């Protein structure tokens, strides 16, 4: 693959369909997006790995969002990593890139040398979809009862939307000639789409944690098992790239399933924080309340957890009692 081809596929999500087995999916590659997310923080490597996995899941799932929708993934746990939050902002217009941001909250003194998912304790994995003003946000949750974040996402789709789903992900620090060590990630998402119900079911599930295997039978089960066996032959370097393009990978894995690809969606690291949003969030407070937030230097400060932006504001211009603009 040429350097130009590599760059073209980095930070993209390629949707595809397998015509012979009635399945759809996405292939994602993240490079600059992960750098943008992780360089804002000084995370331990196990926390970086969890954030990378969540960002990759967010890109794969988020590609299905309509214009101007927002997808959020959250992990809340009692473990050393208390929370991981990601947001996917769908493009405002066709042809524009989507934006992803992410951050984690953790207790540094509780982080161990164990595997990344061992830093996550009892809790839940949540998916939230905001379709914009005038709509009711959707939320679905599943317990952190699996052995990876991707398996938790699979359980969510099986339980909350009755969609057999499989993720195959790879992520880690890449050492390419002439470039500093940096994180890369790549993955494939597969979903079996029942002919009678091409969209997600609307129920919240029965409370029992289901798996993809519980949702297919007969010919559908044969198709699902066959495609998963093919997916299991994928290698980490094929997922992460850059030596194999996503389209070449699909042909290598699924050529007998008649893969059909659609337009790729580019993704970028991006945050929606701004001084105006900070002021708006503080507009519900009185001057007395604002005074309790004021530093010894007579300022009100705020930091964005996602991008690290720092805001330093005059308290007289804040709250509903603001005396200055």
Q: What is the pLDDT of residue 1?
A: 45
Q: What is the pLDDT of residue 191?
A: 94
- Is the separation of the CB atoms in 184 and 216 below 8 Å? no
3-state helix, strand, coil in the chain (%, to 5): 30, 30, 40
Q: Angle of helix 45-62 relative to helix 149-160, nearest 10 degrees?
A: 30
Q: What is the pLDDT of residue 201?
A: 36
- The segments of the chain whose pLDDT lies below 50 read 1-5, 196-208
In whole angstroms, what is the distance from residue 119 CA to residue 114 CA?
A: 7
How big is the chain, counted in residues?
325
Helix (H, G, I), strand (E, B) or coil at 268: strand
Tokens matching residue 47: 């926390």
- Nearest CA among 90, 100, 109, 111 for reference residue 40: 100
- Count Cα atoms within 13 angstroms, Cβ side, for 268: 8
Q: What is the pLDDT of residue 196?
A: 41
Q: What is the pLDDT of residue 194?
A: 55
Q: What is the pLDDT of residues 268-287, one digit of tens each?
A: 998 888 888 888 888 888 88
Q: What is the pLDDT of residue 26?
A: 97
Domains and their CATH numbers in the chain: 3-269 (3.55.30.10), 275-317 (3.90.1280.10)
Tokens matching residue 203: 């129920």
- Is the separation of the CB atoms in 27 and 238 below 8 Å? no
Beta-bridge mates of residue 169:
187
State pTM to two decimals.
0.84
């Amino acid at each position: 693959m040429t350097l130009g081809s590599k760059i073209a596929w980095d930070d993209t999500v390629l949707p595809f369909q397998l015509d012979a087995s009635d399945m759809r999916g996405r292939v994602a590659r993240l490079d600059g997006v992960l750098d943008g997310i992780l360089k804002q923080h000084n995370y331990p490597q196990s926390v970086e790995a969890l954030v990378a996995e969540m960002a990759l899941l967010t890109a794969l799932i988020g590609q299905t969002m309509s214009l101007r929708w927002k997808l959020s993934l959250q992990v809340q746990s009692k473990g050393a990593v208390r929370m991981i939050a990601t947001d996917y902002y769908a493009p405002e217009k066709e042809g524009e890139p989507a934006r992803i941001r992410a951050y984690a909250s953790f207790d540094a003194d509780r982080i161990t040398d164990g595997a990344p998912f061992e830093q996550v304790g009892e809790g839940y994995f949540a998916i939230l979809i905001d379709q914009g003003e005038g709509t009711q946000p959707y939320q679905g949750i599943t317990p952190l009862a699996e052995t990876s974040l991707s398996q938790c996402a699979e359980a969510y789709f099986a339980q909350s939307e009755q969609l057999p789903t499989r993720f195959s992900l790879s992520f880690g620090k890449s050492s390419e000639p002439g470039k500093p060590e940096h994180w890369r990630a790549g993955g494939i998402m597969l979903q079996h789409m029942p002919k009678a119900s091409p969209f997600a079911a609307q129920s919240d599930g029965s409370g029992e944690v289901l798996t993809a295997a519980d949702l297919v039978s007969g010919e559908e089960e044969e198709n699902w098992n066959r495609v998963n066996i093919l997916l299991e032959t994928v290698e980490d370097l094929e997922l992460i790239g850059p030596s194999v393009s996503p389209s070449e990978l699909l042909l290598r894995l699924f050529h007998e399933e008649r893969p059909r690809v659609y337009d790729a969606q580019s993704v970028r690291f991006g945050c929606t924080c701004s001084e105006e949003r900070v002021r708006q969030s503080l507009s519900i407070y009185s001057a007395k309340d604002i005074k309790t937030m004021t530093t010894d230097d007579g300022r009100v400060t705020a930091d964005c957890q996602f991008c690290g932006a720092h805001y330093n504001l005059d308290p007289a211009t804040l709250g509903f009692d603001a005396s200055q603009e």
